[in-house]
Amino acid sequence: MSNIEGLLKQHGTPEKEVYLDWENGSVVDKEVYAEMRPFYLERTFGNPAITHHMGWETLDFYMKAKTKIAKPLNIDPQALALTHSFSESNNLAIKGIAKLNKKRKKIIVSEAEHLSVIHTAKSMFSDQYKVEIIPVSNDGTMNLDILQERIDNDTLLVSLQAINHEIGTIQPVKEALEIVKDKDDSILFHTDATSAFGRIPLDYGKVEVDLATINSNRILGPKGVAGLYIKDGIKIKSIYEGQLSLEILSPDVENPALLAGFAKAVEIQFNRFDEIKNHTQNLRDKLLYGLQTSIERTEINGPLGERRAPDNVNISYLGCEGEALTVECSMNGIYVSSGSACTSRILMPSHILTAIGRKPEEAHGSLLMKINRLNTEEQIEYVLERMPKIIKRIRSITGGIEL
Amino acid sequence: MSSRIPLPYAPRVLELFQNPQNLGRMEDATVYAAAGSPACGDMIAFYLKLDEPNAIIIKSSFESYGCASNIAAASQLTIMIENKSLEEAWKITWSDVSEALGGLPSVKTHCGSLAVGALRRAIRTYYKEKELKLPNWLPEELSKDEKHALEEEALAEKLAKKYKLLEKRD
């Protein structure tokens, strides 16, 4: 028996399981799977870039599927490039723009961006780019005054996420866009809408960002497919080379099954938009305030009220180390993640919790729970019933150690 | 979330995490020491009760602010030193602890190291507090695991300083 098999055996399967780690991986909706299945087993698997019936059949499907995804964003379907992941989309947005740029040498991102934005921006140092990281307030909102100060005629691109993936801050994208475009209409604006797509209304016909990252898996579509909206007229180049294909910015053999799943997930999410929003928001409030009132020494991370994402619950439990908490939660069948240093490769706490001014011991004790439309009220009640005991046990191990 | 690493804990780590042996503060401890810092998310307190004339550890206990492997490493070490002489306890290394746990993931070896660092600090503290002559087996210079604990604490101080800068900015 391998160590991991032994670990699973020692852990055992909890009687009741509640999955709240939607940030780090999602199941595919049943209807989405049903939509995808024939694309693997039956028809429309041909390459849309080839001149035969099967190819044209796929090409026809591609146009229709993209139209479905583009509709809720109010964008031209032709302006939507498909990629393999939101990380690829974010990389493409920054590197693909920089590749064709000769003059401007500054890239600006917020301090709370996903690492696929921050690290990509910083990787441009080697190409003589200057990278400005704009600080955020203690609820995670980008500081617009500092943005205003830092943008200039040397700025190529500004990137600001629509919703923070970890603490749920809805960012002032519209206001930031206005500041940027008022200063210089040629500065490009990218928004990473990975955590926002399907959660809050996004109308890029009105809020005219130049580039936007969207994702399939966060709305119960398949993994392995995402999108990058590129406004008409923006010059961008692929960041890796491949064969001639329909998706010239992500050159590969197209996978119609993934696109079918993505399109179906979008359709479901937006057909039921209000219902899903109300459901997740109600459960979010029940969980967020329930935990805060039943457990002492807690700090909610991120904003409260209208500026918090409808699905985000992020709380620091003082006197607890987060990795131990995730394991103890797991023993109770509750699957969550933490911003603790112990869960990271570099043994540093989450850069977002540090950015909002959390002390290390507050960041280490944080747990991220996300509410999905598949979660039920009964599941949330189970979590509320168990969490005080979980926290109590981990605090008993910390004992009298003074933090 | 930040960049992650898979942590395939050995079953023994989970077992001790579920049922930690020798957990908790010891009121009648002969000596106590702590290592690590909350800033690093990693802290262990070690308590020893000694049969003083014979320099034997009668019992030991720990408290841990840390991850599952930190808790397991500290607990494992308390089991390993029961009824051992201080000399025998001193000679236990982090790799002994890691081995007893079925191997710690490489990024977590410092957890084993921190537990050993805390124990050695406790042993050193004992000789210092009682103003006893250092035995031959106890080197004047800090051992590797004690140095590791110091390094973590220094890193924590750095983090704390960085944090204060952030406070000023706001």
Query: Do the Cβ atoms of A371 and A277 come closer than 8 Å?
Result: no
Question: Does A340 lie at the interface with B, CB-CB under 8 angstroms?
Answer: yes
pLDDT band for position A66 (cuts 50, 70, 90): very high
Closest-CA residue of A relative to B24 is: A399
Q: Do B41 and A324 touch (CB under 8 A)?
A: no
Q: What is the predicted pLDDT for the residue at A26? A: 95
Q: State mean pLDDT over A325-348.
A: 83
Task: State how far residue A236 is from chain B, nearest Cα, in angstroms.
Answer: 28
pLDDT one-digit tens code per residue, A136-165: 999 999 999 999 999 999 999 999 999 999
pLDDT band for position B2 (cuts 50, 70, 90): very low
pLDDT band for position A350 (cuts 50, 70, 90): confident
Radius of gyration, alpha carbons of chain A: 22
Query: Do the Cβ atoms of B74 and B89 come closer than 8 Å?
Result: no
Q: Please, which residues have CB within 8 angstroms of residue A153's CB and are 6 or more apart in sequence?
A: A104, A184
Q: What is the predicted pLDDT for the residue at B147? A: 82
Return residues 82-121 of A near B (CB < 8 Å): 115
- Note the ipTM here: 0.89
Q: Where in chain A is the domain with CATH 3.40.640.10?
A: 30-271
| Single pTM value for the model | 0.93
Query: Residue A266 pLDDT more than 50?
Result: yes
Q: State mean pLDDT over A51-66.
A: 94
More confident residue, A341 or A397: A397
Question: Does A332 lie at the interface with B, CB-CB under 8 angstroms?
Answer: no
Would you list the domain boundaries of chain B? 11-169
Could you tell me whether strands A80-83 and A130-134 are parallel, antiparallel, or unpaired per DSSP bridges?
Answer: unpaired
Q: Do A345 and B5 touch (CB under 8 A)?
A: yes
Cα(A164)–Cα(A63) distance, rounded to whole angstroms?
31
Closest-CA residue of B relative to A354 is: B163
Q: State chain A's mean pLDDT as an integer.
A: 94
Note the CATH architecture for domain B11-169. Alpha-Beta Complex (3.90)
pLDDT band for position A349 (cuts 50, 70, 90): confident
Classify burial at A393, counting beta carbons within 10 Å of its beta carbon; exposed 0-12, middle 13-18, buried 19 or more. Answer: middle
Query: Do the Cβ atoms of B109 and A342 come closer than 8 Å?
Result: no
Return residues 89-128 of B near A (CB < 8 Å): 102-103, 107, 110
pLDDT one-digit tens code per residue, A226-240: 999 999 999 999 999
Which CATH fold topology does A30-271 show?
Aspartate Aminotransferase; domain 2 (3.40.640)
pLDDT band for position B140 (cuts 50, 70, 90): confident
Q: What is the predicted pLDDT for the residue at B4? A: 58
Question: Does A327 lie at the interface with B, CB-CB under 8 angstroms?
Answer: yes
Q: What is the predicted pLDDT for the residue at B169? A: 42
Which CATH fold topology does A3-20+273-398 show?
Aspartate Aminotransferase, domain 1 (3.90.1150)
Q: What is the predicted pLDDT for the residue at A325? A: 95
Q: State mean pLDDT over B143-148.
A: 80
Q: What is the predicted pLDDT for the residue at A43? A: 83
Question: Does A395 lie at the interface with B, CB-CB under 8 angstroms?
Answer: no
Among A350, A354, A398, beta carbon nearest to B63: A398
Q: State mean pLDDT over A110-121.
A: 96
> For residue A262, how many C-alpha atoms fall within 13 Å in the half-sphere facing its CB?
29
Q: State mean pLDDT over A204-218.
A: 97
Question: Does A13 lie at the interface with B, CB-CB under 8 angstroms?
Answer: no
